[in-house]
Copies of this chain bind each other. A is one copy, B any other.
């Protein structure tokens, strides 16, 4: 059915009617899908997938059976039944335990974290409006912002997450020059994707001061919060805010499974209400009900210690291997949680060539530029330890060391 418009838009085909953003989306990405990086034989350090054994398939089947036995059709009907509602109250109670002052009506369940980010941005942004994000940041969020025609401005990170001094300078400069101020700032304050860094409390407080002074919203993406491997948790931004300007986002993708497609957001009531109205269509009541039972019946809490231990083991194996096999001009982050290590090379490199060479050596990574909204990241890349088999980590990192060493000596 598409043959006659495959050649590209003319004045009288459907593509010509699409928005500029949608037209640009056709074959836009330089890298294509990151999933196509590497071969079947490559040790893949690219993907932020959870490891396969982490999925609680047996318990999910039991939860499904229980939900159907107890509430029959309600779990499959528009709106859902009691187990779907239990999920909202369970999330609210858990967020309250983290110091957030909220009611159940502040919680909105979404089809995953990115759905929450997308819909939040749709409520706040018109094309051309400005958003500030950490740089580098989650590539899925960059795509979401660009799809909405948002003017994305990056602010640097260091080893303690978002550099709030650099942010303050950027904001003051914009005010001084009468340049547009941001409507929102997007941050992953804990175990950031891709750097693994975490903002300490004093930076979080300073960020909120700036948000008040310059009147912007803070989108707090806390996708990795449950997966802290040591130390005490930092307070969520939403727990430090009393002005209703933090919109907090979480997900079950890393702690139950991506395929249940469930996340949530916590927001001031009028904001939550406007965002919910933007949700197009009904709720995935089936997965909500099943996960509602799974969480309310204690299985989520029971599973987290095992997940932490398994991910910490993978992280330690990767950090040890980096110590053993990286040349002297290479440095990397040491995350206390999450899935990712960010590697920087203190030399001019050609990152795409290095990736090709690494794949020839049998290992793959995601190039730094994928995590930058504009230019940047040419001497960096992301390693993920979440999905690779532990037994493959050392060989993979050794191969990476060989590739970097050879690239250096070009």
**A25 CB to closest chain B CB, in angstroms?**
4
Cβ-defined partner of A14 (8 Å) among B113, B122, B245: B245
Docked pose: A59 CA to B33 CA in angstroms = 35
**A365 CB to closest chain B CB, in angstroms?**
18
Which chain B positions have C-beta within 8 A of A215? 11-12, 16-17
Residue of B nearest to A19 (CB): B126
Docked pose: A357 CA to B375 CA in angstroms = 65
Docked pose: A321 CA to B407 CA in angstroms = 82
**A165 CB to closest chain B CB, in angstroms?**
23
- Give residues 196-210 of A contacting B (CB, 8 Å): none
**A367 CB to closest chain B CB, in angstroms?**
20
Contact B281 A123 (CB under 8 A): no
Known contacts being A14-B217, A15-B271, A114-B282, is A73 close to B57, with CB within 8 Å? yes
Which chain B positions have C-beta within 8 A of A47? 78
Residue of B nearest to A5 (CB): B244
Docked pose: A55 CA to B16 CA in angstroms = 42
Contact A184 B270 (CB under 8 A): no
Contact B117 A280 (CB under 8 A): yes
Contact A244 B14 (CB under 8 A): yes
**A65 CB to closest chain B CB, in angstroms?**
6
Contact A49 B78 (CB under 8 A): yes
Q: Which of A258-266, A303-311, A327-335 contacts B (4 or more CB under 8 A)?
A: A258-266
Cβ-defined partner of A259 (8 Å) among B76, B216, B243: B76
Which chain B positions have C-beta within 8 A of A269? 2, 6
Q: Is there a chain B Cβ closer than 8 Å to A340's Cβ?
A: no
Contact B268 A5 (CB under 8 A): yes
Docked pose: A280 CA to B138 CA in angstroms = 13
Contact B274 A26 (CB under 8 A): yes
- Give residues 233-291 of A contacting B (CB, 8 Å): 238, 241-245, 247, 253, 257-261, 266-275, 277-278, 280-287, 289
Cβ-defined partner of A112 (8 Å) among B16, B77, B257, B281: B281
Contact A286 B259 (CB under 8 A): yes
Q: Is there a chain B Cβ closer than 8 Å to A177's Cβ?
A: no
Contact A261 B284 (CB under 8 A): yes
Q: Is there a chain B Cβ closer than 8 Å to A80's Cβ?
A: yes
Docked pose: A216 CA to B271 CA in angstroms = 35
Docked pose: A18 CA to B259 CA in angstroms = 31
Which chain B positions have C-beta within 8 A of A25? 273-274, 277-278
Q: Is there a chain B Cβ closer than 8 Å to A168's Cβ?
A: no
Which chain B positions have C-beta within 8 A of A247? 14
- Give residues 106-128 of A contacting B (CB, 8 Å): 106, 111-115, 117-119, 122-127
Q: Is there a chain B Cβ closer than 8 Å to A13's Cβ?
A: yes
Cβ-defined partner of A79 (8 Å) among B11, B13, B35: B35
Contact B281 A261 (CB under 8 A): yes
Contact B112 A282 (CB under 8 A): yes
Contact B4 A244 (CB under 8 A): yes
Contact A115 B77 (CB under 8 A): no
Contact A268 B73 (CB under 8 A): no
Q: Is there a chain B Cβ closer than 8 Å to A140's Cβ?
A: yes
Question: What are the 7 closest A-B residue pairs judged by CB atoms, nearest first?
Answer: A114-B281, A118-B280, A259-B285, A76-B257, A2-B268, A52-B73, A25-B277
Apart from A1-B102, A19-B123, what 4 extra A-B contacts exist at CB < 8 Å? A17-B217, A18-B123, A49-B77, A113-B281
